[in-house]
Amino acid sequence: MSGSGGTVRSAAARARLATRLLAVLSCVLTAEAQLTGVLDDCLCDIESIDDFNTFKIFPKIQKLQERDYFRYYKVNLKRPCPFWADDGHCSIKDCHVEPCPESKVPVGIKAGSSNKYSKAANNSEELEDCEQANKLGAVNSTLSNQSKEAFIDWARYDDSQDHFCELDDERSPDAQYVDLLLNPERYTGYKGPSAWRVWNSIYEENCFKPRSVYRPLNPLAPSRGESFYTWLEGLCLEKRVFYKLISGLHASINLHLCADYLLEETWGKPRWGPNVKEFTRRFDPIETKGEGPRRLKNLYFLYLIELRALSKVAPYFERSVVDLYTGNGHEDAESKALLLDIFRDTKSFRMHFDEKSMFAGDKKGAKSLKEEFRLHFKNISRIMDCVGCDKCRLWGKLQTQGLGTALKILFSEKEIQSLPENSPSKGFQLTRQEIVALVNAFGRLSTSIKELQNFKVLLQQTR
């Protein structure tokens, strides 16, 4: 009898849990959590983004990320943290990043950076070839000598004033190629004081926030004080946008960890998949005191920002002078065709964020605010070198650089519009590293929004 009663109680408990989880996601994905309708600070609704991403963007961006040009990313994971003493690297095996052997990297990609300052520096003819390949790994081999010289001049142009990120020096002996498909972003077990310190530093020191205002859920917050959201709504548009971008990036990363979680490991064979309980812990309106839905709205806002950047940068890639060069002519042509197809889709979206509403005040004040905006974001990119888990650092650096590249694009509209068709421009350029980061970062956001829909289905199935 007691066993039967225990079974009944167990079934009832499971039913209650399933009901609560379904209610949670209903809260997250319906009007109760305000994750529907028009987003703040723009004129786009969430439902339109869901449909656009599911049916147009997601399938194509997934294919593009599998192309050789976009799967190999050169990164330095050994740069020391510039802000505090290194508190040790994560020793969990899933934190490890397996670098790609040079022999596996397509020759056209390697030609873009390896030995750039040694062999090339001593041989002017090799310098032309090396610099030519280095500009995106993307130069048409039929260029005239005049165009080649222009590329070399372009390489010497210091565009650091345009960068929103601290870029890795690809010539460093510590920089290595990583195959992103073989090192996917997923839950590694990295958590605790080290991980909290990184995000706390990002929010507390780089989001224009005074110390008297505490973020929601901050364990150090006093019982009384100025409301965080009262403070946030009192900021100018640019500073509100900055906070939403960082919050959206944080939410997206958390979603990836929930969606690709180590569920079990039997005889050394891991099984990865979506973890509904972890999703609930991070986004449940009750457990997060209403923060989960707000964070997910910021994810959608970030998606819009990067989507807008892709639509704006299309003319840069539409030029015949730009290839996605790996050394495989057939694949390079297919990769560019797919990228241009995605650009056409981004330009067809009818509810883009209007970046012209930013930095629209008096010229002097707008310029100063833009520079402050840039430096704050650049500082955040440097904090990524303080992440103790190599895999988390890899994907944190890539997604931060991708967002930084998107911001660089949005604030370079005039330079992009005036690009010459058959030669490079000193006014605006992107390195291959920036291009790979831009596409993969947007691919991660597209995946996050798709995974939200998957969690909704999963929770409905537990009913």
The residues annotated with a catalytic role in the active site are: 389, 392
Contacts of 324 (CB under 8 A, 6+ apart): 67, 69, 136, 137, 138, 332, 335, 336, 339, 435
Tokens of 314: 């299309």
Tokens of 238: 């640019």
Q: CA-to-CA distance for 34 and 18, rounded, in angstroms?
A: 22
Tokens of 395: 């994907």
One DSSP character per residue, 365-417 reads HHHHHHHHHHHHHHHHHHHGGG-SSHHHHHHHHHHHHHHHHHHHHHTTHHHHH
Cα torsion 242, 246, 249, 251: sign:
negative
Tell whether residue 405 is among the known ligand binding residues.
Answer: no
Tell whether residue 271 is among the known ligand binding residues.
Answer: no
Cα torsion 392, 393, 394, 398: sign:
positive
Tell whether residue 295 is among the known ligand binding residues.
Answer: no
Chain centroid to Cα 152, Å, comes to: 30
Q: CA-to-CA distance for 29 and 21, rounded, in angstroms?
A: 12
16 class by beta-carbon count within 10 Å (0-12 exposed, 13-18 middle, 19+ buried): exposed
Tell whether residue 280 is among the known ligand binding residues.
Answer: no
| Closest-CA residue to 303 (of 407, 444, 445) | 445
Whether 455 and 50 have beta carbons less than 8 Å apart is answered as: no
* Exposure letters 97-106 (e unless 16+ CB within 10 A, then b): bebbeeeebb
Tell whether residue 247 is among the known ligand binding residues.
Answer: yes
| Closest-CA residue to 436 (of 180, 91, 249, 150) | 180
Ramachandran region, residue 235 (left: φ > 0; alpha: ψ -120 to 50; beta: rest): beta
Tell whether residue 186 is among the known ligand binding residues.
Answer: yes
Q: Return the ∠ at Cα 227 (arms to 222 and 229), rounded to 5°.
A: 135
Tokens of 422: 């058959």
Q: Which residues are annotated as a binding site?
A: 186, 188, 199, 247, 250, 282
Q: Which residues are annotated as a binding site for FAD?
A: 186, 188, 199, 247, 250, 282
